[in-house]
Amino acid sequence: MKKYILSFLLLICVVVSSYAQAKVEISPKNFTAEDKITITVDVTGTILDGVKPLYLWAWIPGCCGADNGDWNNSNEANKLTEVKANVWSISFVPTAFYKRSAGEINEIGFLVKAKDGTGDKKTQDMGSKVESLVFVPNKLRVFPSQFTQDDVITIVYDQKLDDNPSMKALKEVYMYTDINYDAGADRGVFFQPVSYDGVGDSNYVKFKSEGNGVFTLTMVPSSYYGSAATPVSEGRRPSGRFQINSIKVHVRSKGNPFAGGAPQPAASLGDVFLTPEK
């Protein structure tokens, strides 16, 4: 009896191992959830050898599935394209395909199957790690990354990330700024609250030191540039209904870096332009 059982188990092993595993290739090999990827699967020698068409059945491990449809009736949107006999591919951007944010997709899982997967007409489970989107710190950035002119924004200057030794040495940081705006029929109107020479004497354009080499200036642009308290140096201060097209931010020292005899250190980052959403 024992002999028969062993023979039976051996037979099962032979049958199971008679199907090869599908070969998968993901291009590019390293990708984030916002990159377009192409999954190519070779089903030669598998239970799907010669089966047409084939479909992707996908999930995020530990989370959830994609819009796969039913196991016996795959979603047509997940149909793979036949590249050549037994080789199939599909391209997608993971955030769009899985309908999840990049922060939720650290890994993807999938298999390939017949439209009706009944009878185990599928490949083995496959998958790949997904690289995190990397926050790249910049010496000058704005928080939040997108904003309108009526939102609170914070301009952040991180001295530690600056290669310029004069900028690194600054104890106080100021902003030279102007805006370009539309108001009614007037387009591209220029307004500058504080002159370049006056910047070092104006607390209105002075950054706040947060310590550790970080300086910030927080404002609501429409109010900062268009309220009764806004100083006027050149151009027309906006009033009533207006739309800011761009904000020039020029981070610099208290002393004019372009004037002879300015107290040292004196330096600037040059002009950077912020564009509010409309």
Residues 22-61 that bind another protein (CB under 8 A): 34
Q: What distances in angstroms separate CA 187 from CA 224, 245, 249, 272, one per listed residue?
A: 20, 10, 21, 21
Site for another protein in 154-193 (CB under 8 A): 154, 156
Tell me the C-alpha distance between 195 and 186, whole Å: 23
State which residue, 70 or 150, has the beta carbon closest to another protein.
150
The answer to whether 20 and 82 have CB atoms below 8 angstroms apart is no
Nearest-approach distance from CB 103 to another protein, in angstroms: 3
Q: What is the DSSP letter of 119?
A: T
According to the binding rule CB under 8 A, does residue 203 interact with another protein?
no
Among residues 102, 140, 183, 272, which is the contact residue for another protein, using CB under 8 A? 102
Among 8, 71, 143, 273, binds another protein (CB under 8 A): 143
Provide the β-strand partners of residue 158.
214
Sheet holding 208-211, edge to edge: 140-143, 153-158, 214-219, 208-211
Does the bond joining 137 to the residue before it have cis omega, within 30 degrees of 0? no
Residue of 103, 231, 263, 270 interacting with another protein (CB under 8 A): 103
Residue 206 binds another protein (CB under 8 A) = no
The residue behind tokens 């947060």 is: 210
Residues 6+ apart with CB under 8 A from 200: 174, 253, 254, 255, 256
For another protein, the binding residue among 73, 81, 101, 239 (CB under 8 A) is: 101
**Smallest distance from the beta carbon of 141 to another protein, in angstroms?**
8
Residue with smaller CB distance to another protein, 90 or 156: 156
Nearest to 31 by CA among 97, 123, 105: 105
Q: Which one of 17, 18, 145, 203 is in contact with another protein (CB under 8 A)?
A: 145
- Could you tell me if residue 270 is left (phi over 0), alpha (psi between -120 and 50 degrees) or otherwise beta? left
Helix residue ranges per DSSP H, 88-204? 94-98, 165-168
- 201 in Cβ contact with 193 (< 8 Å): no
Which residues within the stretch 110-139 sit at the binding site for another protein (CB under 8 A)?
132-133, 135
If binding is defined by CB under 8 A, does position 223 make contact with another protein? yes
Q: Of 202, 216, 245, 246, which one interacts with another protein (CB under 8 A)?
A: 216
Smallest distance from the beta carbon of 179 to another protein, in angstroms?
16
Is residue 144 at the binding interface for another protein, with CB under 8 A as the rule?
yes
- Contact set with another protein (CB under 8 A): 34, 101-104, 132-133, 135, 141, 143-148, 150-152, 154, 156, 216, 218, 220, 222-223, 227, 277-278
